[in-house]
A = this chain, B = another copy of it.
Amino acid sequence: MKVKDMGEFTLINAISDDVIFDPTTVIEGIGDDCAIYKSTEDYEQLISIDTMVEGIHFTFNTMSPYDIGVRLSTANISDIAAMGGIPRQIVISIAIPPTMDSAIIKSIYDGIKYQCKQYTINLIGGDTVSTSGPLVITLTIVGEVPKGKAVLRRRAQVGDCIGVTGYMGSSAAGLDAIYHTYQDTNVIIQSHRQPQPQVALGTYLRHIGATAMNDISDGLASELHEIADTSNITMLIEEELIPIHRETMLISNRLGNNPLDYALFGGEDFQLVFTIPSESLPAVHNQKDITIIGQIISKGDGTVLMKGKDQSIRVIEKKGYNHFSHD
């Protein structure tokens, strides 16, 4: 059924059930002017907002509506994870083309709710409007972190080690695998379609004293630059240490691409990159999903250096994706 034939209230009813996964924090969910939620004493509140536009941030050609819901939730939850926080509540706004099938909207919400359930987050409010343009979905997430303990990106210190969680570049390589309809690279295809936020590792890294942390939404190079810029340091990473999934290597071989391009410049992995004092290293060495890839070598102006496999040292550029460069 088309959204315009369904009406706003029927649609809202169709998507507002099964949305509370931690009732202890919710006083009023969807339905009034605001939702009401409890915050925890001795915690500070975190808030982040993310928008995805059809045709810019996702396309129904390579992702199902359900996957789109999963990925938008992940992008949002990941911002909380990158502060070492615990995600708590989500509100959603969606601008819908009236001729879109309401089943698509339902599936997007199902993907969002699946992620909310996995990470014990409540969906407590929203707004549904119509648009003459493409589908636009905006999620706002509220989380919390013990007072004074949030891991910012601007506190990396000289001497700290640089680490990452998981594999770099899987999502970008997975997208190429989808375009080429490869059947034997399911791990990286899943990394593109349903990437997962690293909430547990984010909390763990806060516990063991991470000094700076970012989630990898725009690519490892860009995120390293953000930490280096805001912390006023120079960092050196080692090419050989960057964890790249074997399926990314496989795709790179087949397509004649450099796997390092996926790893440094491929975005939307939603893994974490962090810095940590060297005395905390024993606490990361026993974690299979954490890899140390370099060190903060001096005070500086935000330079990111990489030692290649041939021992040469290169400057890594940001190559940050400019969200306004396409039209």
Interface of A with B (CB < 8 Å)? 3-4, 6-8, 11, 27-28, 31-39, 41, 44-53, 55-57, 78-80, 82-83, 85, 89, 91-99, 124-134, 136, 138, 140-143, 145, 150, 152-154, 214-215, 230, 322-327
Bound form: Cα–Cα A154–B30 in Å: 13
Given the complex, which residues of B lie within 8 Å of A154, measured CB to CB? 32
Bound form: Cα–Cα A318–B207 in Å: 54
How many copies of this kind of chain does the complex include? Answer: 2
Cβ of B323 and Cβ of A93 under 8 Å apart? Answer: no
Cβ of A92 and Cβ of B49 under 8 Å apart? Answer: yes
- Tell me, rounded to whole Å, the shortest Cβ–Cβ distance linking A227 to chain B: 11
The residue from B3, B51, B89, B131 contacting A129, defined by CB atoms under 8 A apart: B51
Cβ of A32 and Cβ of B136 under 8 Å apart? Answer: no
Bound form: Cα–Cα A94–B138 in Å: 9
Cβ of A96 and Cβ of B324 under 8 Å apart? Answer: yes
Cβ of B89 and Cβ of A53 under 8 Å apart? Answer: no
Cβ of B136 and Cβ of A95 under 8 Å apart? Answer: yes
Most chain B beta-carbon contacts within 10 A, residue among A56, A96, A97: A56
Bound form: Cα–Cα A325–B89 in Å: 31
